Amino acid sequence: MLSVHSCGCCRVFAARGFQFQTSPSLFFSTTNYDSLVGTARRFAAISGFAGDSSSDLRQETVADTRTNYAGVRLEETVDNGIRSGKLRLDSWISSRISGISRARVQSSIRAGLVQVNGRVIDKVSFNVKTGDEISCTIAELQTLRAVPENIPLDIVYEDEHVLVINKPAHMVVHPAPGNTSGTLVNGILHHCNLPNVEYSNEEALSNTEDSDDEFNSLYSDASSCEGLSLRPSVASIRPGIVHRLDKGTSGLLVVAKDEHSHMKLSEQFKLRTIKRVYVSLTAGLPTPVAGRVEVPVGRDPNNRLRMTAVAGPVNPRKSRHAASRYKVIEILAGGSCALVEWKLETGRTHQIRAHAKYLGVPLLGDEVYGATKNMVLSLLRPRTPSGLHSKIVQMVSKIDRPCLHALTLGFEHPHTGQEVHFSCEPPADFNEILNQLRKISNERVFSTKRSIS
């Protein structure tokens, strides 16, 4: 039932489980997690892991009956590979324990489970240097409970197999630290009359982005869930969230309500046959006005909240292949902004946001990717009549999220096999900004099948 394997670098252990049929109201896949505690100790400074021998690295695995991963231990001396002379403690530990999120490492540091040269360090930004001896034990996972909440859902389509929802901006798809209620999952649990579920902090943190590395869904501890027909040894479940949208992104999202639908929709995401069209407002005008961006996207090493698009060969450990097609629908405010349509060939975390940044036109309101209020005003003021300056300043000050909307969604219905297509207009805040920019000036470039009011 459970296989345990270690990766090539001998630092990570993983548990593989199997899926079982559960309640038909909303699909849950189950994974039997017997607790696994991996202990990895390094006793000397080693420059790399690829050629580690048994004399360099000792490893032992201990299985017990606890309900989560915990106790992974690292003892290592910092080598001389620090170029700048400064490296954060949390960054260094994250780089040495493959598969552990930086947030998990930070919680371990704050819990007093990390020592540098024999002294407990609870500051995540502490700078390590060559020769420092680091001892770290990964902390226990914390759980986040998702309870049914009577949250109004804008349901575009529903049958016994799927839900298509128009997600509002500022709604998180699933619970995560800092967002334990008011999420789409909370609303779905109520809508489908399902019980409470629990998410591990780690699993929530690893699934907080807009992506369609998405079809992996979410795991949660089901030990307290009553009324679910699970096998006795099962300890974890996941809702049928097939893909996700960022908290700030509005628009269409599909949810599977049974196992067959989840499997079929997941296959379509993997095969990239799902049809998705997004619209955005950009700070600046893309050049050329239509094109294809094929640039790998990976986590920004300097800011874990941000992805980055860097031209060059794909490094599977640092970036993943990503491709987006775009075209300018309207040139706005004399070219200081644009209404842009995006079609995704892949679905990486923050893909549109990262590719827009790469083109030099970050999305309006996307301060994480460079579209600060000062930057936007510097583009708008020279092209705006002086009589409208105060209105423009007021408009920019009110932008509180990236101006990105999932406009259309099309897929093969998992049970009927028919092609289904859905669309929904951008919300009021998006349209208000668009109309303000049109008042300065607008020039239509390409038409779109769906008019944007």
Active-site residues: which are they? 246
Cis peptide before 288 (omega within 30 of 0): yes
Q: Which residues pair with 238 in a beta bridge?
A: 29
297 close to 354: Cβ distance less than 8 angstroms: yes
Tokens linked to 244? 């996700």
Query: Amino acid letter at 114?
Result: V
Q: Report the C-alpha gap between 256 and 164 in whole angstroms.
A: 9
Query: Amino acid letter at 81?
Result: G
Which 3-state string (H, E, C) describes the chain? CCEEEECCCCCCEEEECCCCCCCCCCCCEEECCCCEEEEEEECCCCCCCCCCCCCCEEEEEEECCCCCCCCCEEEEECCCCCCCCCEEHHHHHHHHCCCCCHHHHHHHHHCCCEEECCEECCCCCCEECCCCEEEEECCCCCEEEECCCCCCCCEEEECCCEEEEEECCCCCCCCECCECCCCHHHHHHHHCCCCCEEEEHHHHHCCCCCCCCHHHCCCEECCCCCCCCCCCCCCEEECCECCCCCCCCEEEEEEECCHHHHHHHHHHHHCCCCEEEEEEEEECCCCCCEEEEECCEEECCCCCCCEEECCCCCCCCCCECCEEEEEEEEEEHHHCEEEEEEEECCCCCCHHHHHHHHCCCCECCCHHHCCCHHHHHHHHHHHCCHHHHHHHHHHHHHCCCCCEEEEEEEEECCCCCCEEEEECCCCHHHHHHHHHHHHHCEEECCCCCCCCC
Q: Report the C-alpha gap between 266 and 419 in whole angstroms.
A: 16
Place of tokens 């405010």: 333
